[in-house]
């Protein structure tokens, strides 16, 4: 039987009691090794759901398990450590440190995770290897992140998410600024590295045309229910 890497059970969340944005996710399961596209329009709750999965937000009720551990029952400190050890995140805006060089940006997760740091015997060599695999130029290492093109920043963000072999990669609209040809190249490079790391990928997008490149498509409207205050 395939193991689950993400398991959501009866999760409810809202920002405040006065908020009109209230969501309920009855259940969601993602198996280890899957490449899953979570599809939804802007404002549908995709990013909120990702934030719950990553432990940036805590549900009001229900449970979220990552690799069999119920992260919403962990203390804030332990949850942060667990996220750093197990989840590589590619943010929509990439969140690179603009004045740090590219190598330091890629190595950043290893400063927060002893587990991922211990998975990399020679850190600088691993960074250079990732650069080659992601088709980044040899001389990019000491460039400031702010000097990179959009496409280069995206690939550096992927390298940062992958370093140290986290079991789960979560990507929030990483292709939104690319044309169709650039999207395909970027996804192929990302898929190659995720397969090599034996990681699971959950990627959020509003673009249904990407679905045939993934193992499974999940429409957020089929797993997430918008509720009004009377439901609580």
Work out the percent of the chain whose per-residue pLDDT is above 90. 55
Structural domain range at position 176: 4-231
> pLDDT value at position 105?
93
Q: Which of 224, 227, 229, 226 is nearest to 25 (CA)?
A: 224
Q: Which of 214, 201, 206 is nearest to 169 (CA)?
A: 201
Average pLDDT over every residue of 12-39: 87
Q: Residue 162 maps to which CATH number?
A: 3.40.50.300
Average pLDDT over every residue of 175-191: 80
pLDDT at 55 over 70: yes
Say how many domains are in the chain: 1
Average pLDDT over every residue of 158-172: 93
> pLDDT value at position 176?
76
pLDDT at 230 over 90: no
pLDDT at 229 over 70: no
The pair phi, psi for residue 33, each rounded to 5°, is 90, -5
pTM listed for this prediction: 0.89
> pLDDT value at position 1?
44
Neighbours of 12 (CB within 10 A): 17
> pLDDT value at position 18?
64
């Amino acid at each position: 039987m395939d193991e689950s890497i993400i398991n959501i059970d009866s999760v409810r969340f809202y920002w405040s009691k006065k908020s009109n944005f209230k969501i309920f996710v009855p259940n969601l399961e993602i198996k280890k090794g899957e490449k899953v596209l979570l599809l939804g329009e802007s404002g549908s709750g995709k990013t909120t759901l990702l934030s719950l999965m990553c432990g940036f937000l805590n549900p009001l009720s229900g449970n979220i398990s990552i690799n069999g551990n119920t992260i919403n029952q962990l203390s804030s400190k332990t949850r942060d450590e667990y996220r750093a050890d197990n989840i590589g995140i590619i943010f929509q805006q990439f969140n690179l440190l603009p004045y740090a060089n590219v190598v330091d940006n890629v190595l950043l997760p290893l400063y927060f995770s002893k587990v991922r740091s211990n998975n990399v015997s020679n850190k600088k060599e691993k960074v250079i290897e990732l650069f080659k695999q992601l088709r980044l130029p040899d001389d990019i290492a000491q460039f400031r992140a702010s000097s990179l093109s959009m496409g280069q920043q995206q690939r550096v963000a992927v390298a940062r998410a992958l370093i140290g072999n986290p079991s789960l990669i979560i990507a929030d609209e990483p292709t939104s600024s690319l044309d169709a040809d650039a999207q395909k190249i970027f996804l192929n490079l990302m898929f190659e590295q995720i397969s090599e790391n034996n990681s699971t990928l959950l990627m959020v997008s509003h673009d249904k045309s990407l679905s045939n490149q993934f193992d499974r498509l999940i429409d957020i409207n089929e797993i997430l229910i918008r509720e009004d205050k009377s439901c609580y």
